[in-house]
Chains A and B, each alone.
Chain A
């Protein structure tokens, strides 16, 4: 456990910055609690899909059916399947969150369609970014002789947490909700 402290501290530092972005936008979040509920969901799904993709690429590189080449067809297939899984998951969860919020009287002025659009677009942007980071992390660590299995999950989840929050506020702004 000795070796994990420096890496964990770096992770924590990045997460504290994610937290500071939340604090900066605290008023909008408290005004629209539906988005407060969404944050752990967006980040958890993004981290899971990114980690699964990374683990698959790591196994492929270890066994040899994926080559260290960005035009590898296997890589493209995995990338698009991750996007597809992300799209379906975010769509279903958006509907569930909306109705959970409806039960708790938290829907405020947002229509179901508008919420789904913000949530799913955030998700698709996040999955695209996380998938690219996942592929590059797997490639780079494999090239440097490190085991991608140890590297991908922590890097992808940490990076995904901060990007998920940034994308959510970006779409918040684009749709003119809150702020």
Chain B
């Protein structure tokens, strides 16, 4: 019986997240011309998505813990604690984006593909920072709504970020690759 319960509880959510991933995948499908024109672009995609997933989920669960510890609540959301978390996650996004760009460039050289290092690093930086900002705002919005309705934010931020995080990040990669390709 407990097997039935496990299937009933997690299957719909996993399918729903999968449908979200199809939207992210379709964005990747639309990018095929850009992938052809910018060597190295496809290399950075899994890394940016993984970075975003790791940093946003950590940010979301920190907000959840802060709530449980009583440090933040619906009336007292914008305080020093939240600011420190926002700045921390944005600084981390900035550093990791640069690391992704450099690693993608160096490993490509070993495989005899020569991407434009400035283009690749710029694409990761713009996509990483903008998706970071959007997801930070989205997370705070979700946590705020959870407070208002009396839900535990820990149960909401994880699945919500898993579904929307990849879509937002993929669209940001598309936008930033397009922008950089047009500008440079």
Contact with B along A26-65 (1 / 0, CB 8 A): 1001100110111111011100110010001000000000
Among A11, A48, A165, which residue has its beta carbon within 8 angstroms of that of B14?
A48
Q: Is the interface of B mostly helix, strand, loop or mixed?
A: helix
A68 at the interface (CB under 8 A from B): no
Residues A16 and B42 in contact, CB atoms below 8 Å apart: no
Among A22, A36, A88, which residue has its beta carbon within 8 angstroms of that of B46?
A22
Residues B7 and A4 in contact, CB atoms below 8 Å apart: no
Residues A20 and B50 in contact, CB atoms below 8 Å apart: no
Residues A96 and B19 in contact, CB atoms below 8 Å apart: yes
Among A9, A40, A154, which residue has its beta carbon within 8 angstroms of that of B166?
A40
Among A26, A45, A84, A96, which residue has its beta carbon within 8 angstroms of that of B7?
A84
Q: Smallest Cβ distance from B82 to chain A, in angstroms?
A: 14
Residues A15 and B14 in contact, CB atoms below 8 Å apart: no
Among A17, A34, A92, which residue has its beta carbon within 8 angstroms of that of B107?
A17
Chain A residues whose C-beta falls within 8 Å of the C-beta of B54 in the assembled complex: 4, 8, 11, 154
Residues A106 and B29 in contact, CB atoms below 8 Å apart: yes
Interface 9-residue window, one of B63-71, B91-99, B131-139: B91-99
Chain B residues whose C-beta falls within 8 Å of the C-beta of A19 in the assembled complex: 42-47, 104
Residues A23 and B43 in contact, CB atoms below 8 Å apart: yes
Point out residues on B near A: beta carbons under 8 Å: 2-3, 6-7, 10-11, 14-15, 17-22, 24-26, 28-29, 32, 35-36, 39-40, 42-47, 49-51, 53-55, 57-58, 88-89, 91-92, 95-96, 99-100, 103-104, 107-108, 111, 113, 162, 166, 170
A145 at the interface (CB under 8 A from B): no
Interface centre among B24, B25, B53 (most CB of A within 10 A): B25
Residues A12 and B103 in contact, CB atoms below 8 Å apart: yes
